[in-house]
Amino acid sequence: MAYKSILTILTDPVEVGPVLAQATAFAAHAGAHLDVLCLGIDRTQTGYYFAGATALMHEETLMHAQAEAAQIEQAARTLLGKSDLSWGLEAMVTQSASLVGLVARRARYADLVILPKPYGDGLPADAPVVVEAAMFEGNAPVLVLAASDMDLAPKKIVVAWNESAEAMASIRRALPILTAADMVSICIVAPDRHSDESADPGAELSKLLSRHGARVEVNILPQTLSRVSQVIARHVQDFDADLLVMGAYGHSRFREAILGGATRNMLEHAEVPVFMAH
């Protein structure tokens, strides 16, 4: 399946330029339509302010959210107007409590959602919520950008494989990228802990990808570091990969699901874009 409908969601004016530069380039390369959702987030939490302050806080936070949405929209329109891409843009204000539902509804109708890295100094607290809502509630694959520009046609890709449904979901959604790469490394960390393919771990996945035309190698790694994510990250660096494909793992909390520790740790320290699905 080709990526013909791509969505990106902007919630921070600082991210407009870097994110749109990569999203528009990827969409143009894929021959896709790009939808851009510009959000100003009203973070008012009704009932958490002292008596008499609620109305004032509502007004101030709403005005700030409206101004931020307008700022993001203006910057995005300016950049999109310079491209020959097929694109659509919508700006709106939403409250934090409504953010998950809004993002999920938009992501549900996209082949791929491109989002900035959700963790780091100075990033808004809502950034992880957007990523989680797109994947868990919207059931869309998400390409999380790294600090440096991504390769539009990744030549070397690492696939983190542990035989889970989440990992397989990501691999199936990433097939257009995987089959176009020069080499795909199936990375299996300590396979004896989770694999039924004890004789030849990764063999069946290698066959599947090869039959689609992907060029594949299997790399079995011992867990020499305290976290599996650290072992994978080191392999990404050693392999000089342009992209990491992995399953998105979560567990129920106050929202439908939030990113599990391994997924969050990988996103926090990723130096290349990460393609994830659930």
Least confident of 97-106, 157-166, 186-195, 198-207: 186-195
Q: Count CB atoms within 10 A of the CB of residue 274.
A: 24
Would you say residue 178 has pLDDT above 50?
A: yes
Provide the residue count of the chain.
278
Q: Which residues of 106-128 are buried (b: 16+ CB within 10 A; e: fewer)?
A: bbeebbbbbbbbbbeeebeebbb
Distance (Å, whole) CA 62 – CA 275: 34
Q: Count CB atoms within 10 A of the CB of residue 244.
A: 29
pLDDT tens digit sequence for 33-90: 999 999 999 877 544 455 555 666 667 888 989 999 999 999 999 999 999 999 999 9
Supply the range of the domain harboring residue 45: 5-144
Distance (Å, whole) CA 186 – CA 260: 22
Instruction: Please tell me which of 193-197, 212-216, 245-249 the model is most confident about, judged by mean pLDDT.
Output: 212-216
- Please check whether residue 151 lies inside any domain of the structure: no
148, two tokens:
């440096």
Give yes or no: residues 134 and 217 share one domain. Answer: no
Tokens 């990526």 found at: 3
Provide the whole-model pTM. Answer: 0.91
260, two tokens:
């599990």
Question: In this predicted structure, what is the pLDDT of residue 55?
Answer: 61
Give yes or no: residues 35 and 117 share one domain. Answer: yes
Question: In this predicted structure, what is the pLDDT of residue 257?
Answer: 60
Give yes or no: residues 134 and 177 share one domain. Answer: no
Give yes or no: residues 61 and 82 share one domain. Answer: yes
